[in-house]
Amino acid sequence: MTSQPNPEPHKGFGDLGERPWKAAGLPAHPGADPAAYGRSWETLANALSGFLDALAESVPGRETVEALAADLTTWSDKLKPLASPERDRVFGRRTDLHGRGQSMSPKLVVIRSDRDSVEGTVHFGSYFLGGNGAVHGGAIPLIFDEILGRLANSADRPPSRTAYLHTDFRSITPIGPDLSIRAWFVSEEGRKRILRATIHHGDTLCAEAEGLFVALRPGQP
């Protein structure tokens, strides 16, 4: 590490969600307030992920496929009139929940975190299957970007974006079991933050990554 230790207490790996808005002087979006939804958004996100896994695993008959498509269309039609600006949305913004209340990337459960590192578990369901029991090679950088990006922007650091994300696939990453995931800062110099991460299945290294995150200038999207 080349950065100086931060004398402020760590505010938690999940504190990223509100800070960009607060820094811009904007009110926190109401959907990110856990009190607004209680556990109902978590239940919805789990149901959505479970649905995608069940769909990926199943071989339904034609009638079931048609009924499912009709049900999904009904729900899309109900939700479309409720569309809101990005900063008011809830999906992926509940940083108090494992998986941020979204279904795009696999659920990350944080077990321990501090200013410069985070450890947890990740579970890839059948939705993330590439083939022959192995996770899709695009889903692995997805979870690396998630954990590295959140760590890169944690603990009162100004927001940054991924400039590069290099992933090495060391052995297959299995669908199904809970896997260990770890991320840590390598260096922090000026606007440039270099971080690394690993995914292990037991003692087996499945994949590792290095990312460069560049702090955004004021007004940079």
Looking at the Cβ atoms of 30 and 60, the one nearer to ligand DCC is 30
Q: Does 29 bind ligand DCC (CB under 6 A)?
A: no
> Does the footprint of ligand DCC cover residue 93 (CB under 6 A)?
yes
Q: How far apart are CA 22 and CA 25, in angstroms?
A: 5
Site size for ligand DCC (CB under 6 A): 20
Q: How far apart are CA 196 and CA 149, in angstroms?
A: 11
Q: Work out which of 29, 115, 150, 157 binds ligand DCC, going by CB under 6 A.
A: 150
- Using alpha carbons, select from 134, 137, 129 the residue that is nearest to residue 57: 129
Q: Residue 31, interface with ligand DCC (CB under 6 A)?
A: no
Q: Which of 46, 117, 126, 162 binds ligand DCC (CB under 6 A)?
A: 162
Strand partners, 208: 168, 198
Indicate the residue among 29 and 134 with the shorter CB distance to ligand DCC. 29
What is the Cβ-side half-sphere exposure of residue 171, based on CA atoms within 13 angstroms? 9
Distance separating alpha carbons of residues 172 and 201, to the nearest angstrom: 9
Would you count residue 145 as binding ligand DCC (CB under 6 A)? yes
Q: DSSP 3-state assignment of 34? A: helix
Q: Does 102 bind ligand DCC (CB under 6 A)?
A: no
Is 146 near ligand DCC (CB under 6 A)? yes
Pick from 22, 39, 112, 192 the residue near ligand DCC by CB under 6 A. 192
Asked whether position 164 contacts ligand DCC by CB under 6 A, the answer is: yes
From 36, 163, 166, 178, residue interacting with ligand DCC (rule: CB under 6 A):
163
What DSSP state is assigned to residue 103? S
**Does 99 sit near ligand DCC (CB under 6 A)?**
no
Torsion of CA 43, 48, 53, 54, to 10 degrees: 90
Residue written as token pair 């299995």: 174
Specify the residue for token string 């949305």.
89
List of residues contacting ligand DCC (CB under 6 A): 16-17, 92-93, 95, 145-146, 149-150, 161-164, 191-192, 212, 214, 216-217, 220
